[in-house]
Amino acid sequence: MEIVSENYSFGGCQTVYTHRSETCGCDMTFGAYLPPQARHGPVPVLWYLSGLTCTHENAMTKGGFQQHAARHGLAVIFPDTSPRGTTVSDDEAYDLGQGAGFYVNATRDPWKSHFRMYDYVVTELRNLVTEHLSVQDKHGITGHSMGGHGAITIALRNEALFESLSAFAPIAQPTQSDWGRKQLSAYLGDDETAWAGHDSTLLLEEYGWKGDILVDQGASDQFLDLLKPEALADMMARRRQPGQVRMQRGYDHSYFFVNTFASDHVAWHAERLL
């Protein structure tokens, strides 16, 4: 790993790293915040997965997570949302290609050689972080929008790897949404049975979750029809899954929404990880 930048923040250090990814076949960048407690020994990890068009930097600079992570003693990892570079396939649309990896392993050309964000987050970057940073092998995961979809689907499919789970305005049922059907068909093909493993609502029905789940959703979110929070809330009720889906009056889909409730989510994870 090579250090791109380091900044002192709330007594800890916000660092940006770049490294060669064998999984994605390109250089990848991620942010890592280590709280002051990490100077005295390894700390638990909260993973934050970002949404469409974002890089590692958006939540790192706009989410306000460092202050809360420092208070509770959690590290926060901010992966990028896709592979990048001149040799990596892209699309003119904002919701496909670079910046829109959707946290799946693509099986179709031209995406399959690089777009393997599922394996990157679950295996390669996780191993890199636990090997080289002052962190415990004790992980929670959250994310926003496409990243909320990624957080829930990854956690439900890898229950043994994560101790806590939350999401901000996740794409809750991508198999039934234009934010999902387009990307899943492009990356995985037209066989919709292959999509089910990347649908939060369907995965919750199949697997459930070992703990409780916290989901915050802005009630004035301009993308509500694409996110479909009611599908996930209904499945939680039908499956009697412990947790909360909180509709927050007046809030939209922006980082102002994420920043407002970041404190709640960090505290939620800290209570379950510490």
- pLDDT of 113-134, one tens digit each? 999 999 999 999 999 999 999 9
Please indicate whether residue 253 is annotated as part of the active site. Answer: yes
Per-residue pLDDT reduced to its tens digit, 204-255? 999 999 999 999 999 999 999 999 999 999 999 999 999 999 999 999 999 9
d(CA 110, CA 218): 35
The answer to whether 50 is a known catalytic residue is no
221 is catalytic: yes
Cis peptide before 35 (omega within 30 of 0): no
pLDDT band for 264, please (50, 70, 90 cuts).
very high
Cβ–Cβ under 8 Å, residues 77 and 30: yes
- Mean pLDDT, residues 56-76: 98
3-state secondary structure of 104: coil
pLDDT reported for residue 208: 97
What CA–CA distance (Å, rounded) separates 85 from 88? 5
Beta strands, E only, 22-134? 26-34, 43-49, 75-79
In residues, how long is the chain? 274
Helix, strand and coil in the chain, % to nearest 5: 40, 25, 35
For residue 214, give every residue at least 6 positions away whose Cβ sits within 8 Å of its Cβ, in sequence order, or none: 165, 166, 167, 243, 244, 246, 264, 265, 268
Q: How far is CA 5 from CA 29, 30, 31, 69, 266, in A?
A: 11, 11, 9, 19, 24
- Active-site residue among 145, 164, 166, 177? 145
Helices 200-207 and 229-239, interaxial angle, to 10°?
10
Spot the catalytic one: 56, 68, 114, 253.
253
| Tens of pLDDT, residues 135-178 | 999 999 999 999 999 999 999 999 999 999 999 999 999 999 99
CATH fold for domain 2-273:
Rossmann fold (3.40.50)
Model pTM above 0.85: yes
* Confidence (pLDDT) at 184: 98
Query: What is the average pLDDT across 56-62?
Result: 98
Beta bridge partners of 123: none
Which one is catalytic: 95, 199, 216, 221? 221
User: What is the 8-class DSSP label of residue 144?
Assistant: B
